[in-house]
Amino acid sequence: MPPVGPTGLPIDCDGSAPPTLRLGGTLARAGSRIVFDGEVTVPFHLYTATASLGRFATPRHGWTVSASGILGGEIEGRDVQSGAGLGGAYTYLPLFETEGRPFVALTGIVSAAFARATADDGRTRSWTALDVRASAMVGKSLQDNRFIVYAAGRAFGGPVFWRRTGKDVVGGDRYHVTFGAGATWNLSPRLSLSLEVMPLGEQSFSGGATVNL
């Protein structure tokens, strides 16, 4: 699953952000390779649409919950027919940015995805993935906070349940990490757009919008 919410960051990363409720939407493509039984590698990718609700009660602490619909994709070259996901995240900023210093944000994410897809026996089977991940982001605000750019790395793990060659199998991601970068464009105090590309390890591409309520 992609990260929960467009970025998981507050409006401002310098310690001045007021308490804010945030409503977000994200479209994403995420894919990787799952190793089953320690030897069989199965590639997959999923297209998802995610709605998220989050709140930063203080400039340092925030939470996000999300629900996703799986729009399509492939598992081992065969179509994913439907699916859904749920997730939750907690974000902490241990280091606020200053004029000459970037911010640092740490996030813990728990999610689950459930999909129906065609297995190697030609029948529709259930694909279930549970995921726990830790994320670190380092970034900087530009042009009076109009733009925020960041680099991100995430480590994760969790079981994937599938049926292959006539038996139930359990696997895990081949890489357990992902690295990339993203940017947020604050169009106004109420609306921002975001884009993130994570090309290394687990691969994902996402774009989203956030409304500050």
**Residue 149 predicted with pLDDT over 80:** yes
Residue 11: strand, helix, or coil:
coil
Using the structure block, give the residue that is written with the tokens 């996000």: 64
Structure tokens at 181: 């970068």
Question: Do the domain assignments include residue 6?
Answer: no
Tell me the pLDDT band of 205, cut-offs 50, 70 and 90: very high
- Please count the residues of the chain: 213
Burial 38-65 (b: 16+ CB within 10 A, else e): eeeebebebbbebebebebeebbebbbe
98 alpha-carbon distance from chain centroid: 27
What is the pLDDT, as a whole number, of residue 4?
A: 59
Query: Mean pLDDT, to the nearest integer, of 100-106?
Result: 96
* Domain, as residue range, for 118: 20-212
Q: Is the dihedral of CA 105, 133, 196, 51 positive or negative?
A: negative
Structure tokens at 124: 């529709």
Question: Do the domain assignments include residue 52?
Answer: yes
CA distance linking residue 56 with residue 71, whole number of Å: 30
Top-confidence residue, 38 or 116:
116
Question: Do the domain assignments include residue 9?
Answer: no
The secondary structure of residue 17, as a DSSP letter, is P
Please provide the DSSP assignment of 45-75 as one string. EEEEEEEEEEEESSSSEEEEEEEEEEEEEEE
Structure tokens at 213: 């309520």
CATH code assigned at 126: 2.40.128.90
What is the pLDDT, as a whole number, of residue 31?
A: 95
CA distance linking residue 88 with residue 4, whole number of Å: 7
Tell me the pLDDT band of 3, cut-offs 50, 70 and 90: low
The secondary structure of residue 187, as a DSSP letter, is -
Query: Mean pLDDT, to the nearest integer, of 96-102?
Result: 95
Closest among 168, 86, 166 to 127, alpha carbons compared: 168
Do the bridges between strand 147-157 and strand 124-142 make them parallel or antiparallel, or are there none, so unpaired?
A: antiparallel
Question: Do the domain assignments include residue 149?
Answer: yes
Tell me the pLDDT band of 121, cut-offs 50, 70 and 90: very high
Query: Mean pLDDT, to the nearest integer, of 191-212?
Result: 95
Q: Name the domain count of the chain.
A: 1
Question: Do the domain assignments include residue 101?
Answer: yes
Question: Do the domain assignments include residue 11?
Answer: no
Question: Do the domain assignments include residue 166?
Answer: yes
CA distance linking residue 30 with residue 204, whole number of Å: 4
Q: Are 108 and 134 in contact (CB under 8 A)?
A: yes
Question: Do the domain assignments include residue 124?
Answer: yes
pLDDT tens digits along 32-88: 999 998 889 999 999 999 999 999 999 999 999 999 999 999 999 999 999 999 999
